């Protein structure tokens, strides 16, 4: 390969990925078989691994820096929802045959940006070729003080249910990008599309929720589906109120134009907000946390005894189980 | 999907992968966003991540239990060469559209077998669909007492060079499987092919090498290429003797029939033996280690000052740099 003027595996790693690991002692410049990670005494590790495939989880025409950042952020979001601080990551990259070096460089640049934002370090991984679509996976490692990881299980009856940020923006952004709906303000249109393309994991809120939230997860499959996971794991039912759901100004406009778009708020995926339960007395602490992080934290309902389900009181005051309707991956 | 009588992502995980995690407290039955891993105090973690693609790293017709075991073992072999004890793993599995449930079940069965053999636990991961070939990655986590990981760098001039087991069997097995060469004994033929299809990571030797080996790695790309990596990382030259290289009886027969097959021994990949350097005085300890593990450990040469290279004294007594000729992945 090298003889044909195309860089080989070792050159690709040396040129584009070794620089991402240059400050990481345990990565050994990506020159060893494995990486060394020294856990901080008194901390537990939190581990997550997600994969994305071109044509399934992103478009083959998406710029590769955004693809890399999305891959990074869906994993960082999982860590955030568990109260973990991002520390390090490993990659497995299967590049399609025709891939250009420019795209690989762009991908690495996206990773570099997010390393700097979220404070992770590249530890190692693997780079291979595939006759199929680009397929990437990332393993993210975070840590929490011992015993402080926030699980899906653990909510108690009477706990309030909260959500960070705003809901539905990503799903509406996807519809805008696809030309399925319209929005006159170019800035708002761009803002919603950006929420779809580049999630904003709520890391500072997540670490702030340690010792406050009784259960949490990130909204990746849609509020209905994800809150139901929390209910199932906790053995409880959630009651939420549609009028309480936090919306961006742009989403409000779209919902006014077409109320069927509420489905994007209730069950659209990709928001990467954190939905969590916390006892009533945590209200003041949460107000403070919202203030210090600049991320709105909104109470949307509460947990109660009952078969796991999400009951929605809609805008007309009627209550019914929220249909699952989340994105099915498989 | 579920409506079409085909199991969805959640059912697949529940049915085939959750059982692999049932004894692992921190995997939460694969029901949470992330897994919890509690490092042992006083231990460093060793991390590695490899990916395999159907049609590139394995044949689409290979039985899926063997594919899973090969994926597991190439990673476990990396841990072994670093002196680490395997502890846990995460998966990212991209299944092709037409995949049958039987193959997924077979894949899980292969993982279960190797979990039992190597003592790892499934912590979590991701399962997606791909329009391309099956693409799997595995992140393996091992641990070593603090500061005891064996690196590629660290060999000293005068250190002896050793290799575990026998060399060339996997590459010869591949040639047999492809019908490129013949071997009359069916048992020996099967044995060599098996060495190609199912590596035997040298975990017990690896952990025994802590504090003995000055540098090590596993032979996955071929002796020439891999020993050169050790030389480069250590800033030294290796001198090895062809007549000292450990061979199986079956390999000996094939080499007698056709001496061009020596290339399989010198630069064939996939043996997953450990090649390492150790000071001369370690000889007695290594004899003992070979005895207790039942794995031959053979001295094949030594390290000396000089530009990184592998010098081979061939069977006629002539010495020349061993051409790299390892398998190029990219």
Question: Nearest Cα to B197, choosing from B176, B167, B227?
Answer: B176
Residue A324: pLDDT band with limits 50, 70, 90: low
Shared domain for A71 and A178, answered yes or no, is no
Residue B10's pLDDT is: 79
- The verdict on B84 and B178 lying in the same domain is no
Same domain, residue pair B185 and B97: no
Between CA B255 and CA B263 the distance in angstroms is: 10
Please tell me which of the candidates B37, B126, B153 has its beta carbon nearest to residue A137: B126
Which residue numbers in chain B have pLDDT < 70? 1-7, 324-330
Question: A329 in a domain, yes or no?
Answer: no
**What's the pLDDT at A31?**
84
Mean per-residue pLDDT over chain A, rounded: 92
Determine phi and psi for B242, rounding to 5 degrees: -60, -40
**Does B250 reside within a domain?**
yes
Does any domain span residue A260? Answer: yes
Same domain? B44 vs B17: yes
Q: Is B56 on the interface with A (CB under 8 A)?
A: yes
Tens digits of residue pLDDT in A304-323: 999 999 999 999 999 999 97
Residues B112, B116, B118, B122: is their CA dihedral positive or negative?
Answer: positive
- Asked whether the beta carbons of residue A8 and residue B84 sit closer than 8 angstroms, the reply is no
**Is A151 inside a domain boundary?**
no
Q: Quick one: B209 and B316 in the same domain?
A: yes
* B28 torsion bin: left (phi>0), alpha (psi -120 to 50), beta (else): left
* B61-90 residues touching A, CB cutoff 8 A: 78-79, 81-82, 84, 90
For position A329, what pLDDT does the model report? 41
Q: Are residues B98 and B171 in the same domain?
A: no
Nearest CA in chain B to A27: B47
Nearest to residue B126, comparing CAs of B155, B173, B177, B91?
B91
Cβ neighbours of B12 in A, within 8 Å: 330
Q: Min CA distance, A59 vs chain B (Å)?
A: 13
Q: Check whether residue B286 and residue B192 sit in a common domain.
A: yes
Q: Are residues A209 and A313 both part of a single domain?
A: yes
Domain boundary among B145, B169, B196: B145
Mean pLDDT, rounded, for A17-45: 89
Q: Is residue A9 less than 8 Å (CB to CB) from chain B?
A: yes
Bridge partners of B241? Answer: B313
Asked whether residue B213 is assigned to any structural domain, the reply reads yes
Q: What does the alpha-carbon distance between residue A128 and residue A109 come to, in Å, rounded to a whole number?
A: 19
Number of domains in chain A: 2
CA–CA min distance B263, chain A (Å): 20
Same domain, B178 and B279: yes
> Hey, is the C-beta of B18 within 8 angstroms of any chain A C-beta?
no
- Give the pLDDT of residue B22: 86
Q: Which of B1, B31, B44 sits opposite A328 (nearest CB)?
A: B1
Q: In the listed set B113, B145, B177, which residue is the last one of a domain according to the structure? A: B145
CATH of the domain at B316: 3.90.650.10
Q: What pLDDT digit, counting tens, does each position of A180-198 carry?
A: 999 999 999 999 999 998 9
Tokens of B237: 């030259």
* A256 and A133 both lie in a single domain: no
Is there a contact between A53 and B125 if contact means CB atoms under 8 Å apart?
no
Residues B25 and B94 placed together within one structural domain of the fold:
yes
A94 shares contact with chain B (CB less than 8 Å): yes
Residues of the domain holding B63: 10-29+40-145
Residue A154 included in any domain: no
CB contact (8 A) between residue A56 and residue B130: yes
Give this complex's ipTM.
0.91
Residue A257 lies in a domain: yes
A124-141: pLDDT as tens digits: 999 999 999 999 999 999
Residue ending a domain, choose from A145, A172, A204:
A145
* C-alpha closest to that of B155 among B282, B320, B247: B282
Residues from chain A that touch B52, judged by Cβ atoms under 8 A, are 128
Q: Quick: pLDDT tens for A206-239.
A: 999 999 999 999 999 999 999 999 999 999 999 9
Domain CATH for A58: 3.30.1330.10
CA distance B185 to chain A (A): 36
CA angle A296, A301, A303 (to 5 degrees): 125
Length of chain A: 330
pLDDT at site B8: 76
């Amino acid at each position: 390969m090298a003889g044909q003027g195309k860089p080989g595996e070792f050159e690709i790693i040396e040129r584009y990925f070794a620089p991402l690991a240059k400050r990481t002692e345990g990565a050994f410049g990506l020159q060893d078989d494995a990486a060394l990670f020294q856990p901080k005494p008194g901390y537990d590790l939190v581990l997550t691994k997600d994969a994305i495939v071109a044509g399934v989880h992103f478009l083959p025409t998406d710029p590769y820096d955004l693809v890399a950042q999305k891959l990074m952020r869906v994993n960082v979001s999982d860590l955030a929802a568990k109260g973990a601080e991002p520390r390090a990551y490993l990659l497995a990259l299967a590049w399609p045959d025709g891939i250009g070096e420019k795209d690989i460089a762009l991908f690495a640049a996206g990773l570099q940006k997010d390393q700097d934002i979220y404070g992770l370090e590249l530890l190692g991984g693997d780079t291979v070729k595939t006759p199929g679509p680009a397929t990437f996976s990332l393993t993210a490692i975070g840590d929490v003080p011992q015993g402080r990881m926030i699980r899906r299980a653990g909510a108690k009856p009477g706990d309030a249910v909260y959500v960070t940020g705003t809901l539905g923006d990503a799903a509406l952004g996807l519809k805008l990008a696809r030309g399925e709906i319209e929005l006159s303000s170019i800035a708002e249109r761009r803002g919603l599309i950006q929420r779809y393309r580049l999630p904003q994991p709520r890391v500072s809120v997540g670490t702030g929720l340690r010792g406050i939230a009784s259960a949490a997860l990130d909204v990746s499959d849609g509020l209905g589906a994800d809150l139901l996971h929390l209910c199932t794991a906790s053995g409880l039912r959630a009651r939420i109120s549609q009028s309480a759901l936090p919306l961006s100004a742009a989403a409000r406009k779209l919902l006014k134009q077409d109320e069927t778009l509420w489905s994007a708020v209730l069950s659209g995926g990709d928001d990467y907000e954190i939905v969590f339960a916390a006892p009533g007395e945590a209200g003041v602490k949460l107000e403070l946390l919202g203030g210090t992080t600049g991320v709105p934290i909104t109470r949307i309902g509460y947990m109660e005894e009952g078969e796991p389900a999400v009951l929605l009181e809609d805008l007309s005051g009627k209550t019914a189980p929220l249909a699952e309707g989340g994105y099915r991956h498989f």
